[in-house]
Amino acid sequence: MASGKPNGNVVDGNGSGGPVTFLEAIKQAMFEEMERDPAVVVIGEDVGVYGGAFKTSEGLLERFGWERVIDTPISESAIIGAACGMSYLGLRPICEMQFIDFIACCFNQLTNFVAKGHYLWNAPAPIVVRGPSGGGVHGGPFHSANPEMYFVHTPGLKVIYPSTPYDAKGLLKAAVRDNNPVLFFEHKFLYRRIKEELPAEDYTVPIGKAAVRREGRHLTILSYAAMMHTSLEAAEALAKEGIEAEVIDLRTLLPLDEETILQSVKKTNKVLVVHEDTKTGGIAGEIAAILCEKAFGDLDGPLMRVTSLDTPVPYAPTLEDYFLPNAQKVFAAAKELARY
Amino acid sequence: MAVDIVMPQMGESIFEGTITKWLKKPGDKVERDEPLFEISTDKVDAEIPSPSAGVLKEIKVGEGKTVPIQTVVGVIDAAGDGAAVAKAAAPAPAPRAAEPARSIAPAAKPQIVPPAQAPRPAAPAPAPAAASGPGPASARPAGERIHSSPLVRRMAKEHGVDLAAVPGTGVGGRISKQDIEAYLAGGAQPSAEVAQPAASAFASAAPATQRAAAPPPPPSATSGGQTHVAFESAVPREKMYFGNYEVQPMSIMRQRIAEHMIASKHVSPHVYSVDEVDMTKVASLRAKAKDEFEKRYETKLTFMPFFVKAAVAGLRAFPTMNASLDGTNVILHKEINIGIAVALEWGLIVPVIKNADEKNLLGIQRNLNDLAERARTKKLKPEEVQEGTFSITNPGVFGGLFGLPVISQPNVGILGLGAIEKRPVVINDSIAIRSMCYVTLSYDHRVVDGAVAHQFLHKVKETLENWSEPLL
């Protein structure tokens, strides 16, 4: 998966013709935004000539030229620093991290400058930082990270982690148009595994809005990205046992759509959070706190969570399988919660 | 006013009961709560109190008959003072034993009503045995902490519900949202049925699937608050409910077995000895005689009577094995009554061969057949499982090399028989093929010491190996 070949799709700037992959949806979003707004540029390692490690920017160089599709040296810090400066001068850069794990290298640029610029100097940095994230593809500890929570903890940023091609495209376009710095996580497990018919016309998906993927009444499963699909799979199995789980796709982690969460909890009174991020400090803990603050009287059971283990992502496939949540684990936890 | 007398439900898993005895005849006057008939369910026997005062008009189900619970077994012509009383009392869950039933008879015997029960309303006493809490609707004993949830507490407050009255079906007996919803929907009448919707709501969505949602853990099995030591758990209850499971309530018989085993292990320091018996002679004598035996007496001759006789020989030689211990007094029984463990599909029972020492092989075999047959058809009388002075169990029939049984109280020993199988053994420095059998003795070391135990076992061995009694 991680060494995928170019899919050969020709970017034509509109979404016509057949279902598209998650990866293709991202490419379309960048293409369309660059067409729409000459201020949008793409910057990153191998995004130009090579077309991106996962071919998400394939064809962009040919269409928009080297001034707007910029290959950089291997320095994530430089990418963000350059993008931040560009944004101050009116551009709207989309930065690619070849693997999102490497975002750690530009942690300082993102958290101390990009995130605080608006607050400190009235200098908003409308940049998007996107990259392939997540495990399940045997990428090992340096190519499988889910580092979203470092940034959810950083005021001044927005954090998006979509689960479908439609959302990926709509949210990426919304991110490009947003005047805040937005981190955009693309779960690489989903890149070529799911396809979806996309509208031909221009659309965006609002940042900060969760989506109810499946309605239910016995408990709510909150999830996002690849785990959203795992949760749906578990919900399917639960339904066979008479347990109707409501599955909510958070889509945006910062700002979190508390309203949708609280509405669901009012109905089901029980919450299971499923995320691929490791347990300690994951979004589940934050949600637990929100529920205690704002929905204590609606709770009929403890918040439960199914997450990865608190370890680096293992390289060995068997260990990675053990490390990651799966539908069986979600099913078991949901049953326990339903029964509680 | 005719009042129906029904077969009460004697426990969660009991669905039928056998009327062992009517204590009144048609035409007899009967007081309310006066013992009316006796029933037997599995191992439990109880006197059933009359649901009403009046005259016993009709017996619909005679002695020895087994009927499902709630079957009308008779009719009382009520004395006119309490139709409502009778109605309320009839389906009351009867207590396990007759004694508690009598003690909650407020009208008939006011002088023995304990002070704690005095304020009970005199007329419509639903008499649930479990309602030891102060309020008649209490779902749990007073003082027990109520586990619910923030939502349930909020709902209770909004609807003015006393949570003590709501049965909980969640983990560890927790009151869940479904429980309080069911309670509210059921007009605040807590009952077992009302407590179920949590499970049935799930099940109804998928009625066709075999794998219906596992039911929520039932409320603590001991609604009376007191947990018998036999039913204590080494881990919190919550830790037992995981994955897919099904909850099977223990039958009354199973519960009695559990209590008895724990009590026995608790009271008697068990010591175990093993010996090996050469059964070749008995086996060959039996092989020669069994066809003629069956022809003559119309019963098969098994090995068990030989072991019973051998045990008798051992008990005669070592009377301390045929004893019970009362405090510091050892009771040496003069009768030799040997209990034989009979495995049933639904449990285990130990009917007793009385005066085994006065019976020959045929007598023991007949007695054994009769007891085993009636054990399997639930026709044993209570006295037939009592007054044993020693017992024998036979794990060998299931292929066990040997077993180390728990003493059946109030005995001080139990003989365990292993499988009889041919084994190479050394006799006079040569190897021979013999039918061998391990015998084990579990004994109460308070009364019996190893020396006696081994001499006893040796006596059993010697008797079998040198069998002299004619088989026919």
Q: What is the pLDDT of residues B87-101, one digit of tens each?
A: 444 444 444 443 433
The residues near A77 (Cβ < 8 Å, ≥ 6 apart) are A105, A106, A108, A109
Interchain CB distance below 8 Å, B202 and A242:
yes
**How many whole angstroms separate alpha carbon B106 and alpha carbon B111?**
9
Residues of A in contact with B180 (CB under 8 A): none
Mean pLDDT of the B288-316 span: 93
Q: What is the pLDDT of residues A282-295, one digit of tens each?
A: 999 999 999 999 99
Mean pLDDT of the B227-231 span: 69
Interchain CB distance below 8 Å, B149 and A300:
yes
Which amino acid belongs to residue B444? D
Query: In this structure, what is the dihedral angle of CA atoms A182, A183, A187, A191, given to the nearest 10 degrees?
Result: 50
Q: Which residues of A297-323 are buried (b: 16+ CB within 10 A; e: fewer)?
A: bbbbbebbbbbbeeeebbeeeeebeeb
Q: Nearest CA to B457 among B276, B319, B280, B278?
A: B276
Residue B205 forms contact with A (CB below 8 Å): yes
Task: Between B218 and B243, name the one with better pLDDT.
Answer: B243
| A171: number of Cβ within 10 Å | 27
Interchain CB distance below 8 Å, B151 and A297:
yes
CB B146 within 8 A of CB B164: yes
Residue B152 forms contact with A (CB below 8 Å): yes
Side-by-side strand order, sheet with B54-59: B2-6, B72-78, B54-59, B29-30
Q: What is the pLDDT of residues A112-130, one digit of tens each?
A: 999 999 999 999 999 999 9
Q: What is the pLDDT of residues B45-90, one digit of tens each?
A: 677 888 888 889 889 888 878 888 788 899 888 864 444 444 444 4
User: By CA distance, what is B154's nearest residue in A?
Assistant: A297
Separation in Å, CA of B155 to nearest CA in chain A: 9
SS3 of residue A130 by DSSP: strand
Within A13-138, strands assigned E span: 20-21, 40-44, 69-71, 92-96, 128-133
SS3 of residue A139 by DSSP: coil
**How many whole angstroms separate alpha carbon B442 and alpha carbon B457?**
11
B 242-301 near A (Cβ less than 8 A) = 242-243
Q: Nearest CA to B238 among B151, B174, B142, B150?
A: B174
Separation in Å, CA of B151 to nearest CA in chain A: 5
Which helix (H) or strand (E) segment holds residue B435: the answer is strand B430-444
Q: How many CB pairs under 8 A join A and B?
A: 64
Residue B212 has its nearest CB partner, among A239, A241, A332, at A241
**How many whole angstroms separate alpha carbon B211 and alpha carbon B459?**
56
The per-residue pLDDT for A75 is 97
Q: What is the pLDDT of residues A47-64, one digit of tens each?
A: 999 999 999 999 999 999
The secondary structure of B34-68 as a DSSP string is SEEEEEEETTEEEEEE-SSSEEEEEE-S-TT-EEE
**How many whole angstroms separate alpha carbon A249 and alpha carbon A240?**
21
B357 carries an active-site annotation: no
CB A263 within 8 A of CB A298: no
Helices (H), B33-149: 83-89, 98-103
Residue B154 forms contact with A (CB below 8 Å): yes
pLDDT higher than threshold 50 for residue B455:
yes
Predicted confidence band of residue B397 (pLDDT cuts 50, 70, 90): confident
The per-residue pLDDT for B227 is 59
Within chain A, strands assigned E span: 20-21, 40-44, 69-71, 92-96, 128-133, 158-160, 182-187, 195-196, 211-214, 219-223, 245-249, 252-254, 271-278, 304-308
Mean pLDDT of the B186-195 span: 44
Tell me the pTM: 0.51
User: By CA distance, what is B198's nearest residue in A?
Assistant: A339
Interchain CB distance below 8 Å, B154 and A339:
no
The per-residue pLDDT for B45 is 62
Q: What is the pLDDT of residues B150-185, one digit of tens each?
A: 999 999 988 888 888 888 888 878 899 888 988 888
User: By CA distance, what is B174's nearest residue in A?
Assistant: A340
The per-residue pLDDT for B251 is 79
**How many whole angstroms separate alpha carbon B51 and alpha carbon B397?**
47
Residues of B in contact with A269 (CB under 8 A): 149, 151, 177
CB B126 within 8 A of CB B88: yes
Tokens of B238: 């919550």
Residue from A269, A271, A300, A329 whose CB has the most chain B CBs within 10 Å, to mutate: A300
Q: What is the pLDDT of residues B308-351, one digit of tens each?
A: 999 999 999 999 999 999 989 999 999 999 999 998 888 888 99
Residue from B159, B176, B240 whose CB has the most chain A CBs within 10 Å, to mutate: B176
Interchain CB distance below 8 Å, B150 and A296:
yes
Q: ipTM of this predicted complex? A: 0.72
Helices (H), B82-235: 83-89, 98-103, 150-159, 177-185, 197-205
**How many whole angstroms separate alpha carbon A60 and alpha carbon A96?**
13
Catalytic residue among B326, B449, B454, B458: B449
Residues of chain A short of pLDDT 50, as ranges, are: 1-15
